[in-house]
Structure 1
Amino acid sequence: MKKFPVLALVALAAAVGAYGGFAFLHQGSAGMLRPDDETVVARGELLYARNCASCHGKSLEGQPDWQTRDKDGFMPAPPHDESGHTWHHPDQLLFNITKLGVVKAANLKDYKTRMPAFEGVLDDGDIIAVLSFIKSKWPKEVQRRHDELNRVYARRTQEAQR
């Protein structure tokens, strides 16, 4: 059984800086997502149902055996609930993966994925709404941990730019 390569995760995290860091991060915010904004979350829920649920599941459960490549070498769609790894990544990386696709966001030329890039399909506000909806479904403790991840990432990004 082949697990998601650790190198790919490292490359994904490293790629965030290459695409603008926390371009949408507001001063004092834990990140760009707005899981407490009912209007944004409701819009995100509709967009998720239309664009994401067919692969990632109606209840964010992902595809079975999502950590093992399928017979064609593709990684199945991971869950976006707390059982998956979505909340282990800062907002900007989640945004970049959604907008640009995994391959471009992480510069992984040989990575096989069925996840499309949503640039030109969803605008930036739509992507933030979808990701905000996903985050709104996580338990509050997971949301707090994700907020802290965003704060640490933002601090490290600012330090690296000095």
Structure 2
Amino acid sequence: MKLKIIALLIVSGVLVAACDQPLDNKTDASKPADRYDRTTVALYRLEQGKALFQKNCAVCHGNDAQGASDWRKRDKDGKFPPPALDGTAHAWHHPQQALMYTIKNGTMAIGGTMPAWRDKLSDEEIESIILWFQAKWPEQLFQAWVKRDQESRKRAR
């Protein structure tokens, strides 16, 4: 019950704040304060991400994004099993753009087994999935990822 009240307060606060802004006021989601503050991620995005992950990704990456236990070892076909996305593998090494690209395009073109999701999931849905599995990462690991992602964005300019 307490969680529902907190969620309601957060959603109410967001709605009130949103109504206070003119419609033509655009925010820059790439600002670190907006993009990387884990405390301001809307609960619905996490819930959406979890539901989408369970429906589309869990069959390979596991219900808790734990991946295959032997994800570092090639299988009989010489391919790597699905890695963990919960912070115990290498997903945190990749900037947001690379995570989005991999989910959209899969890894089959480079010899992997992950299918492309670009025709099944929108960018917003993919971002929600990423937000959900990133919420599982320890804070120190997430902050290391933030630094890598920011550096990647600077290089891309």
Matches within 5 A, 1:6-21: none
Structure 1 residues not aligned, in runs of 5+: 1-24
Residue type matched to 2:51 in 1? L
Aligned to 1:57: 62
Two-structure CA RMSD over aligned residues (Å): 2.1
- Would the aligned equivalents of 2:87 and 2:134 in 1 still touch at CA under 8 Å? no
Residues 130-154 of structure 1: per-residue CA shift (max 9 Å, x gap): 0110111111111111111111111
Aligned to 1:98: 103
Identity of aligned residues (%): 30
Please state if 1:88 is matched with 2:87: no
- Would the aligned equivalents of 2:107 and 2:113 in 1 still touch at CA under 8 Å? no
Aligned to 2:139: 140
Bigger relative contact order (CA 8 A; separation at least 6): 1
TM-score (norm 2): 0.74
2:114 partner SS: coil
Aligned to 1:44: 49
Which has more radius of gyration?
Answer: 2
2-side partners of 1:32 and 1:100: how far apart?
Answer: 23
Structure 2 residues not aligned, in runs of 5+: 1-27
TM-score (norm 1): 0.72
User: Which shows bigger deviation, 138-147 or 40-49?
Assistant: 138-147
More helix per residue: 1 or 2?
2
